[in-house]
Chain A
């Protein structure tokens, strides 16, 4: 049996047009933030849950962690329905919301840890073990005595991550954990997530729109858009899905003004043009011929698109 089972969950938000008390009679608009999504996650997996802003990622995480009630559908996490048995579920999970911290703002980090330790009733040995483990990786020792308000964003994120793991949860939900971090810290955080997944067998579900997170961490992604599941499977699958595409970058002598047939969304800046072609409809020599007919090609590169470009392309397709 899978650790997390999600069956046909839907979440409908009603948005009131105005918060003014005098206009209550205006009808509310409905948003299907999550629309009939199902998936299963097995113990020990790292799932990349990706989608654009507003796709419904946070909503899903909130339902899984017991904060929100789905409008319809059922979720079970290790046999527990999180929104019905919130407290029991809470002991098994750790959650980090990327942009908000659960640490005491004015106090040294260690104080927040001690408080959480009490709250989750973590025994002394486990606490020590976990702290040593975190310290080994992040060198927390230097940070622990500093007030949270004096930490950098990256340092705070590391501490928040550890705070969520203090009670050795089985599952870790991360909502945009790398947002706003610099490349080094991002890498550091990713390595850490990978490490705890491998060594502690913690199941991780992270939402992100940073594709590199996914490329580094998870072999399986779930892609959602406008609340609907668009893809669920290994990254390679989605790559294959689009391997007949090629990204072409051309530098020409004169400003690029041509209209090319069978080419989607050229991205043109004076003499530089980027576009994606589909090998089933077009061929590279064709394109080169078409361009050099009226212009001089100074440089040209042809690439297999990376995941980010694929997704960018994918989103554009969905929009049409």
Chain B
């Protein structure tokens, strides 16, 4: 409860903070929304010349694309600040967090509002809903719950990977580029990964498992792959990466407590 109300308060002020630069703010928001539309247009152009890519139709690919975008936007909205740890340490602001009576990771999360994620969320939800409708996917209660669960695990995967890289900031001075490198992989998972080289597919499933956050859920919802196998993969992978990342974060924090910067 304490953390929820704290989140809300921070949200309010962060929004206000962004709003200081009104004109640019709105230009940016609208651009971000259009950008996601452009992604859709890209898919549409592709499907002018073919009806299926490795067996995936346009609407099915839009589902993957939409799913990935929802997950990514949620991640940016709620956890995007994790990537800013490097800056906080550099400017010493992180010390201020450590002398306050709330979890440092939580304070890190609410450093500022990532409106980029928020704007993206609106469009990507529309995309996802649209594709569900076009595919004719029947969302009964069970499937709806599964959808929510897989969105959550997807966000957790993104968060975990990002936290692992950000935590490196306790040792390295710069992590932004590394972060970018890791998240470049997520761009592959906006499309059915079957079209890529098999080695790359393996990397996206096991090493940097962004595919677990969008492609595998789509396999289940669109291609009606076996639920048990898919969900085991997704839940197992998510749990594993979440635990690793949180442990690593605690380890990094301990290291910071004992060395400072």
Q: Chain A interface (Cβ within 8 Å of chain B)?
A: 13-14, 19, 59, 62, 65-69, 71, 83, 86-88, 90-91, 93, 95, 97, 99-100, 102, 104-107, 111-112, 114-115, 118-121, 147
Contact = CB atoms under 8 A, between A and B. Distances in A.
Contacts of A83: 257
Contacts of A106: 17, 20
Given A100-B92, A107-B16, A67 B260 contact: yes
Interface residues of B, number: 26
B54 interface: no
23 contacts: A13-B259, A14-B259, A19-B173, A62-B95, A66-B99, A67-B95, A67-B257, A71-B258, A90-B99, A90-B100, A91-B101, A95-B96, A95-B99, A97-B95, A99-B92, A102-B93, A106-B20, A107-B16, A115-B9, A118-B6, A119-B100, A119-B102, A120-B100
Nearest to B16: A107
Given A107-B16, A114-B13, A121-B2, 17 more contacts: A13-B260, A19-B172, A19-B173, A62-B95, A67-B98, A68-B257, A68-B258, A68-B260, A90-B100, A95-B99, A97-B96, A100-B95, A107-B13, A107-B17, A107-B20, A111-B13, A120-B100
B197 interface: no
Contacts of A118: 5-6, 9
Contacts of B17: 104-107
B116 to A, nearest CB: 17
A313 B133 CA distance: 82
Contacts of B177: none
B99 A93 contact: yes
Interface of B: 2, 5-6, 9-10, 13, 16-17, 20, 91-93, 95-96, 98-103, 172-173, 257-260
B28 to A, nearest CB: 15
B87 to A, nearest CB: 12
Contacts of A147: 20
Contacts, number: 75
A87 B99 CA distance: 8
Contact of B101 (A13, A90, A105): A90
Given A13-B259, A90-B100, A97 B20 contact: no
A107 B15 CA distance: 10
User: Which 3 residue pairs of A and B lie closest in terms of their CB atoms, listed nearest first?
Assistant: A90-B101, A102-B96, A95-B99
A181 to B, nearest CB: 19
Nearest to B18: A106
Given A67-B257, A68-B257, A83-B257, A100 B102 contact: no
B165 to A, nearest CB: 15
A107 B258 CA distance: 34
A44 B38 CA distance: 64
Contacts of B96: 95, 97, 100, 102
